[in-house]
């Protein structure tokens, strides 16, 4: 265990300081007597990011538009009670130990069959019933960044190996929110982390009316085909001549309702699939009226593009979010950089097994700006 703690202590020293950034911290409720901390990162461009220690979760991203009006552009809740609720669809959380789905909630590793939590029918989703999104992470402020660390015990949700993980957030004056997720394990285990922020660049409460006006571009020539329960079949199919071809900026409202399953919830395969040290362009999203844009870069082989298909239908009771706004179907989009879903069960997918001799490192950069 001492070895794990030493490794965890060095995880935060990963990014150089640039620009004038302020960081403030305050208590934000408690769970079982443990204080939840909220950290606010601010840069000189009127951009602000709130993150809480529960789930290492992004709870707010406040950005100006081209009229210099500031809006919060991620979905979330006003209190810790919302994030603890069963109605929380993983808003803004760090997802682990394995993001996305594992078919039948099982896999074989080194000749041993493992059964993990089946929290979505017969399958496993986002780490199980109490994944890393539902745990309180330890918090450290280091100069211009905040570092969250977590110990996941051997057998947690059925997974082998004790894992020490860290998630570091840094905002710079170039409008970049840099997120770096690392993990070290005592036994071979699958690892696939992601951040699950729900974005709406028009403002978090504007729902599908404005999401349909967003334009999206995804740097992918292929995608992973899934069955009726969103479990990959193993087939990797070209995007060409299909609704999955988003290589050029495409208005979401022009295509979303033609996509099987009620919208996008698919993994897109990025050009670089094995080089974890290379940061590549993932996607760009633009909201023309506000001028706000988001560019995503990462070192991961895939990205799950999700358009909030499972939020309540308009006309029904929505999810009550921040400032008494209700969130509905297609009210936001997610760009979850990660390995391919169910990679542990498909030999033709990129490797998802972390060995004790290796370090898992996942970098994602969200760059926010204004197009005049």
Catalytic residue (choose from 126, 180, 196, 346):
196
Helix (H, G, I), strand (E, B) or coil at 256: helix
Q: How far apart are CA 124 and CA 183, in angstroms?
A: 20
Contact 163, 84 (CB under 8 A): no
SS3 1: coil
Annotated active-site residue 330? The verdict is no
Q: Which of 157, 176, 295, 336 is catalytic?
A: 336
Closest CA to 54 of 143, 126, 139: 139
**Residue positions counted in the chain:** 372
The question of whether 336 is a catalytic residue gets the answer yes
Query: Of 318, 258, 266, whose CA–CA distance to 75 is shortest?
Result: 318
Phi, psi of 343 (to 5 degrees): -60, -30
CB-based burial label for 315 (10 Å; 0-12, 13-18, 19+)? exposed
Coil, strand or helix at 41: strand
Active site residues: 196, 336
């Amino acid at each position: 265990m001492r070895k794990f703690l030493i490794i965890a202590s060095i995880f935060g020293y990963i990014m150089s300081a640039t620009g004038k950034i302020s960081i403030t911290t305050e208590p934000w409720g408690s769970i079982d007597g443990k204080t939840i901390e909220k950290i606010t990162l601010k840069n000189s461009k009127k951009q602000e990011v709130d993150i809480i220690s529960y789930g290492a979760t992004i709870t707010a991203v406040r950005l100006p538009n081209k009229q210099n009006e500031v809006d919060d552009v991620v979905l979330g809740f006003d209190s810790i009670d919302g994030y603890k609720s069963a109605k929380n669809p993983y808003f803004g959380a760090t997802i682990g130990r394995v993001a996305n789905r594992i078919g039948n909630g099982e896999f074989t590793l080194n000749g041993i069959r493992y059964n993990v939590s089946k929290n979505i029918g017969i399958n496993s989703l986002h780490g199980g019933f109490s994944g890393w999104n539902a745990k309180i992470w330890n918090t450290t402020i280091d100069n211009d960044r905040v570092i969250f660390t977590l110990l996941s015990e051997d057998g947690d949700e059925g997974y082998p190996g004790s894992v020490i993980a860290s998630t570091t957030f840094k905002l710079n004056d170039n409008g970049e929110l840099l997120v770096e997720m690392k993990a070290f394990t005592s036994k071979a285990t699958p690892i696939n982390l992601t951040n699950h922020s729900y974005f709406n660049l028009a403002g978090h409460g504007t729902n599908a009316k404005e999401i349909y006006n967003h334009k999206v571009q995804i740097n992918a020539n292929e995608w992973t085909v899934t069955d009726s329960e969103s479990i990959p079949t193993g087939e990797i199919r070209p995007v060409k001549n299909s609704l999955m071809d988003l290589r050029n900026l495409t208005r979401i409202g022009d295509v979303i309702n033609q996509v099987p399953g009620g919208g996008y919830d698919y993994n897109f395969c990025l050009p670089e699939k094995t080089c974890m040290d290379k940061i590549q362009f993932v996607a760009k999203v633009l909201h023309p009226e506000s001028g706000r844009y988001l560019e995503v870069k990462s070192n991961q082989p895939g990205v799950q593009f999700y358009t909030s298909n499972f939020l309540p239908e308009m006309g029904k009771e929505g999810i009550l979010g921040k400032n008494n706004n209700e969130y509905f179907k297609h009210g936001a989009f997610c760009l979850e950089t990660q390995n391919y879903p169910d990679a542990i069960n498909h030999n033709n997918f990129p490797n998802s097994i972390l060995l004790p001799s290796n370090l898992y490192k996942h970098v994602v950069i969200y760059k926010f700006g204004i197009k005049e």
